[in-house]
Structure 1
């Protein structure tokens, strides 16, 4: 490189004037000119070559580091948002931001915190109650793992799991009796049956039942029979059964079966079924239809048994007579309330789309999400996009010996309801 620079310097035309220290142009003597013309260009090009080499050899630098993620989710940052900035914000903007972080609006979040705070205080948790609840809700609504939450909040994963288990246990036990209740009171039962009559044109419906699979992210390696969790769709799951009212609020929740168990077996093992069969639950509201006393009943699809307290369609593909088809259409309109309720549940609490908690804690996490779902529905929170599930078409279950009297009674008054509905529709 140096020889090339020398060669280039020899080609330069000597300059006849120089700049003095004072800034004026002076004439150069031949010796001075020789010194100037022999050294300056060489020095100039040497420096240029070095700078050029450095600039091309230098690796591109990464952008300056952003503020610590942990700092964004610290107790101080949460406190600044929840106690200082939150009241200066427009309520709509505030609640949109809060839902994006924790799945529900600021007032509903405060309701959850106030109801759980006394129990969290008893645990001697080193973190503030509202901060702990916020952390768990961000996990439930975002569907993120304990490791991700731990990294975000700068905590140990075991501590995040411990806090998640504590909050979901409190939601599923302490808040369950308050927010998941059978519509036994006269006023609520009347409101529910009247609303369903508007939806389905059928009298005395008090709820709609359905079953859904909650996908499990993983299973313990030491399970004796892991295949019992593989459902008919081929993935690992446990089952959730819910009964919803006309507002898509769940008034019964059951999580008792692994994925391989069918819907009817899960239903027959539920507390609701056993209370209805034993007569422990008897709704007193009676409607007279063509001389038949019709008590409140639940509607479900053809995967459930036809019973006096649970009516199902005549067929799944509208192959009955006109009266039966009209009944089936009305029943499926009522059933849509529970289907949409499950869609809202999974759309709002995305951890239910891929359950990434330990198997022992999965049931309480599912029930906790159902409690939070009801809180949101009662508060009329904006409904998110529904989580869509594949339509399942099971076989009609056989009637057990212990169910026959309930079956015959249900079969009789289902036909009465169908004939009455068709007559009312025909007379319009």
Structure 2
């Protein structure tokens, strides 16, 4: 029973003493007592106790049944309740992270952000000057961490917003800003054609070990990035439906022996074929125009061989892009041997794409707006290269659908490059078959 109820009970007792005339009747003179009639005496001696006990019973019932009042507590602060809050992130990254053993620390960081803590700090340091110019209300490292968690886990803006106690529009805004910076400011530093003598020599020598073919400087391939949704007002949505039956945009990459991309292109919707996408790329136009000329030349049976890239039958055979003689080993022994070696080199880019999609799972189901999809894809390629350069542990490889494209036709404007590539391919096939047969 609380204090207020006891006070109320005391007041009622005092009131009862004032209302009950029994005490005064007993102490008055006999004349006062005999002047009262029995009925008036009954009323004066019983009404007050009845009133008292009635009120006391009601108050006692209320006192025992009501819930105790508690002062309203303020709503919990996101910074104290969410493990993804700025405060929690700060505590982990500045106080605990360097106290942890490196393998445990980096494993924890990879599970949340897709890369180890040292690589994460590298990304933050390179982006921080640009993020600072945007007057973002969040710390740079927190903003980058939030975007990396979205890219690596494939989360939607709404899910990330709930996790980080932010508004979805702000998550989208920060995602667009960080991916734009990655795809523009960091692209030239981490995605570069192997033009230097040392890097080119290392690349061609490594491919020669894999394929037994000389002067390969890269392998090209195309992959479909599934789109989660398309704008409702898109004029011709059917061009995004690919041969596998889902909507996508295409990513074309060229990778070296370390599965590092040295060229990236995102231009074509899903319904376009690989050759069309290739011809629309900056790389194709630079190679056709002679803007890219690798000086390293090797002599094979009196034939000068400059560095070239390799691709499957979905690409046109050109002087700088060699493809298999056939897709089902229907050539002669020399041609089949060449095809086998070439496909070993091409497997490098297949694995690179598998690692890309395995590490940055947003590429398995692109849940950003169509206008921002290309820069998000390129940003993931930049991050992929950072991880490969840093020799990050490779995740489980994403398995691509089987190739279903037909053999690429050669355009009339490409006849010169085709004829040169055809003779080059045959020379390389004869030389390879001769070398392997003589062992």
Corresponding residue number in structure 1 for 2:355: 344
Offset from partner CA, 1:73-99 (integer Å, 9 cap, x none): 110000000000001100000000000
Superimposed CA distance per residue, residues 318-355 of structure 1 (whole angstroms, 9 cap, x where no aligned partner): 11111101100000000011000000000000000000
- Residue of structure 1 in register with 2:54 after alignment: none
1:278 to 285, 289, 299: 289
Match in the other structure for 1:379: 390
Among 73, 85, 94, which residue is 1:74 paired with?
85
Q: Contact conserved, 1:245 with 1:337, CA < 8 A, in 2? A: yes
Give the structure 2 partner of residue 228 of structure 1. 239
- Provide the C-alpha distance between the structure 2 equivalents of 1:125 and 1:328, rounded to a whole number of angstroms: 53
Question: Of 417, 420, 439, which residue of structure 2 is paired with 1:409?
Answer: 420
Q: Tell me the distance in 1 between the aligned counterparts of 2:343 and 2:417.
A: 22
Name the residue aligned to 1:394: 405
**Other-structure match for 1:144:** 155
Counterpart of 2:105 in structure 1 is: 94
User: Aligned residues, how many?
Assistant: 363
8 Å contact kept, 2:243–2:404: no
Q: Distance in 2 between matches of 1:210 and 1:130?
A: 34
1:132-186 Cα offsets, whole Å, 9 max, x none, are: 0000000000000000000000000000000000000000000000000000111
Distance 1:390 1:360 in 2: 25
Report what 1:107 is aligned to: 118
Q: Could you tell me how far apart the structure 1 residues matched to 2:208 and 2:82 are?
A: 53
SS across alignment from 1:302: coil
Contact 1:143 1:354 in 2 (8 A): yes
Q: Which residue of the partner structure matches residue 303 of structure 2?
A: 292
Query: Quick one: distance in 1 between partners of 2:393 and 2:169?
Result: 34
Q: Does 1:425 align with 2:415?
A: no
Who is 1:318 aligned against? 329
2:191 paired with 1:211:
no
Post-superposition shift, 1:427? 0.6
Q: Could you say if the C-alpha distance between residues 423 and 364 of structure 1 is closer, same or farther in structure 2, counting changes exceeding 3 Å?
A: same
Does structure 2 conserve the Cα–Cα contact (< 8 Å) formed by 1:70 and 1:153? Answer: no
Counterparts of 1:123-142 in structure 2, within 5 Å, are 123-142=134-153
**Residues 299 and 331 in structure 1, CA contact (< 8 A), matched pair in contact too:** yes
TM-score by length of 2: 0.82
Contact 2:297–2:306, Cα closer than 8 Å, also in 1: yes
Correspondence for 2:13:
none
State the distance in 2 between where 1:190 and 1:97 align. 37
Whether the 8 Å CA contact 1:70–1:154 is kept in 2: the answer is no
- How far has the Cα of 1:373 moved from its partner? 0.1
**Structure-2 residue corresponding to 1:198:** 209
**Separation in 2 of the partners of 1:230 and 1:67?**
45
Q: Distance in 2 between matches of 1:343 and 1:175?
A: 22
Residue 246 (structure 1) shift: 0.1
Q: Using the alignment, how far apart are the partners of 2:270 and 2:81 within structure 1?
A: 38
Larger Rg: 2
The whole-number CA distance in structure 1 between the counterparts of 2:315 and 2:160 is: 40
Contact 2:179 2:379 in 1 (8 A): yes
1:393 Cα deviation from its structure 2 partner: 3.0
Residues of 2 paired with 1:361 and 1:342: CA distance? Answer: 20
Give the secondary structure class of the aligned counterpart of 1:72.
coil
Unaligned 5+ residue runs, structure 2? Answer: 1-75
